[in-house]
Amino acid sequence: MTSEETRIGRRGRGRAARVAARSAPEAEVDPCPPGQTGGSYRPLPDSDLKTICAEAFRVLEEIGMGEVPIIVRDKALGSGAQLNDAGRLCFPRPMVEDIIAGAAKRFVYHGRDPRHDFEIGGDKVYFGTGGAAVQTLDRQTGLYRPSTLADLYDFTRLIDTLANVSWFTRCCVATDIPDNFDLDVNTAYALLAGTTKPVGTSFTQPDYVAPVIEMFDMALGGAGRFRERPFCKAHISPVISPLRYGEDAVGVTLECIRLGVPINAIIAAMSGATAPATPAGFLVQSTAETLAALILVNLFAPGYPMIFSNWPLVIDLRTGAFCGGGGEISVMNAASGQIGRHLGLPCGVACSMSDAKAVDAQMGMEKALSALAAGLGGANMIYESAGMMASLLGASFEAFVADDEMLSHVHRTIRGIEVNAETLGFETIREAVAGEGHFLGAPQTMAAMQRDYFYPNLADRNEPQTWAEAGAHDLMTRARTRCDGILSSHYPAYIDPAADAAIRDRFNILLPRARMQPA
């Protein structure tokens, strides 16, 4: 045969391949850890990028914000803002530019364990979770049911083992806790119990923040300790689209500032409903709104750690329902990250979401598309990037495991191609041609196979016959087995027993101690 099947169809299963197999060591170094440098994908050409930002400034200057809490209005009017004829609070462009200039550009997101610390900002890309699913994909039934506190605890200790989940914002709501205060406290407790990675949560109302921080201080060993190592950020949406402040969320924002809780300020407008349906118009409005959140925070605390989370969300206009997968949401979130980086701000987007209910080809496809788009685009913090299903209504253990491996491929792609004298390898080529006619066993090959290639351990790379003999499993089945193994064994002891006793004495902790150890 003269065509390509000679080269591919028969594959390299000859002598040379066997040599490779014998000589290939197991990779010991992660070739693609979190924190790769993004930005090689620029969905918006420079001129369009500048136009959208200029229009966003114009929206703030001419249309401005409605429903402004008095405390914000007074502070803003004293700092250069103006009320327009409609009584809306408008921010002149120079004022906004001053706010941006004084805003935090980079800050460390702490884990309780310092080895999980990482810096947010610049061109670095990290993936983590967000969301607030109200249902869990049950591992026994394969169907969805209301999510519980025990689920949240299990999700937390699961992600504790997943390298690419760089932080964990509680992925589901404990719907078995009717009281909102107990919900916020127990959500925070589950995060404490299951991981020492950076975490995130939300607060139902302003006066719930202080007690949760008190609990964090107790876990850390004393009053004031959280402020020294603020390992939990608050997810807050202080702006309601289109272009209004939300009074309760503003209150939570100010309380978080008072207590030293870093802020993830999320604008989650919906295309065609609460924001324009045109992607360009959407980005204009949502950028203006995220800037309005930045102004809020920086008016009260210049330079305060805040993530500029401009999350374009799409609805399927056939049904009016939010949908997390597709090309539109991929390109719009990638563009959002580009805008945030253009403004020099630590930016967050929401990607790697899916409308799939099953851990299936739809899920894999939808998540990979938007995760790669946002990652190559250089968004610093990619939320909702693991475990989320069903248009953010559900969370899945199996999906977490599958997504974690997917994110290694994404990080590998973002990492790109290093070009230097050694990697170009002119002499290696010359020697292979003059010598044995292949590259197997060459020193350059040995070095590169460990440094440059990611070897999946969940995905199946076997030949069909081998796969069939092993049971013809799909990824869902393999992921479930992996989950079962982790969840039956990984019960970390991240809360000091004395502190735990004190916390349980002070708060209504609903997760039984017996649930926090092997059955």
Site for a second copy in 343-382 (CB under 8 A): 355-369, 372-373, 376
DSSP lists the bridge partners of residue 107 as 120
Residue 212 burial (CB count, 10 A): 24
**233 lies in the site for a second copy, by CB under 8 A:** no
Rg (CA), the chain: 25
The amino acid present at 322, given as its one-letter code, is F
**44 lies in the site for a second copy, by CB under 8 A:** yes
Which of 96, 120, 133, 343 binds a second copy (CB under 8 A)? It is 133
CB nearer to a second copy: pick between 77 and 361: 361
Per-position x/- string for 423-462, each x denoting binding to a second copy as judged by CB under 8 A, each - no binding:
xxxx-xxx-xxx--xxxx-x-xx--xx--xxxxx-xxxxx
**8 lies in the site for a second copy, by CB under 8 A:** yes
The amino acid present at 291, given as its one-letter code, is L
**332 lies in the site for a second copy, by CB under 8 A:** yes
Task: Count the site residues for a second copy by CB under 8 A.
Answer: 178
CB nearer to a second copy: pick between 243 and 486: 243
Binding residues for a second copy restricted to 187-206, rule: CB under 8 A: 202-205
Point out which span in 97-105, 419-427, 482-490, 501-509 binds a second copy (CB under 8 A): 419-427
CA gap 127, 171 in Å, rounded: 13
Measured in whole angstroms, the distance separating CA 110 from the mean position of its chain's CA atoms is 15
Residue 458 burial (CB count, 10 A): 15
DSSP, residue by residue, 246-308 = -HHHHHHHHHHHHHT--EEEEE--BBTTTB-SSHHHHHHHHHHHHHHHHHHHHHHSTT--EEE
CB nearer to a second copy: pick between 107 and 439: 439
- Beta carbon of residue 52, minimum distance to a second copy (angstroms, whole number): 6
Q: What is residue 12's DSSP assignment?
A: T
CB nearer to a second copy: pick between 27 and 108: 27
CB nearer to a second copy: pick between 219 and 288: 288
Which of 28, 29, 115, 419 binds a second copy (CB under 8 A)? It is 419
Q: What is residue 59's DSSP assignment?
A: I
**11 lies in the site for a second copy, by CB under 8 A:** yes
**404 lies in the site for a second copy, by CB under 8 A:** no
Could you give phi then psi for residue 39, rounded to 5 degrees? Answer: 115, 0
- Beta carbon of residue 321, minimum distance to a second copy (angstroms, whole number): 6
Write the CB contacts of 63 (distance below 8 Å, at least 6 apart in sequence): 84, 88, 90, 243, 288
**Is the Cβ–Cβ distance between 279 and 335 less than 8 Å?**
yes
Point out which span in 96-104, 191-199, 266-274, 507-515 binds a second copy (CB under 8 A): 266-274
- Beta carbon of residue 131, minimum distance to a second copy (angstroms, whole number): 7
Per-position x/- string for 164-183, each x denoting binding to a second copy as judged by CB under 8 A, each - no binding:
---------x------x---
Point out which span in 136-144, 188-196, 481-489, 494-502 binds a second copy (CB under 8 A): 136-144
CB nearer to a second copy: pick between 161 and 271: 271
At what angle are helices 279-300 and 70-77 packed, to 10 degrees?
80
**Is the Cβ–Cβ distance between 129 and 371 less than 8 Å?**
no
Q: What is residue 199's DSSP assignment?
A: E
**135 lies in the site for a second copy, by CB under 8 A:** yes
**115 lies in the site for a second copy, by CB under 8 A:** no
**207 lies in the site for a second copy, by CB under 8 A:** no
Which of 80, 92, 246, 260 binds a second copy (CB under 8 A)? It is 246
DSSP lists the bridge partners of residue 137 as 144, 396
CB nearer to a second copy: pick between 3 and 140: 3
* Strand-strand pairing, 232-236 and 239-240: unpaired
Binding residues for a second copy restricted to 463-482, rule: CB under 8 A: 463-465, 467-468, 472-476, 479
Q: Which two tokens stand for residue 185?
A: 């406290």
Alpha helices in 301-351, H assignment, sequence order:
327-342
Which of 224, 302, 327, 485 binds a second copy (CB under 8 A)? It is 327
What are the C-alpha distances in Å from 292 to residues 99, 297, 346? 10, 9, 15
- Beta carbon of residue 219, minimum distance to a second copy (angstroms, whole number): 22
CA gap 128, 374 in Å, rounded: 13
CB nearer to a second copy: pick between 258 and 412: 412
CB nearer to a second copy: pick between 111 and 325: 325
- Beta carbon of residue 162, minimum distance to a second copy (angstroms, whole number): 15
- Beta carbon of residue 417, minimum distance to a second copy (angstroms, whole number): 4
- Beta carbon of residue 434, minimum distance to a second copy (angstroms, whole number): 7
**144 lies in the site for a second copy, by CB under 8 A:** yes
Which of 121, 230, 262, 279 binds a second copy (CB under 8 A)? It is 279
CB nearer to a second copy: pick between 18 and 93: 18
CB nearer to a second copy: pick between 79 and 204: 204
Q: Which two tokens stand for residue 420?
A: 């230097």
Binding residues for a second copy restricted to 147-166, rule: CB under 8 A: none
Could you give phi then psi for residue 395, rounded to 5 degrees? Answer: -130, 150
- Is the N-terminal amide bond of 33 cis, ω within 30° of 0? no
Write the CB contacts of 92 (distance below 8 Å, at least 6 apart in sequence): 61, 80, 81, 82
CA gap 153, 176 in Å, rounded: 13
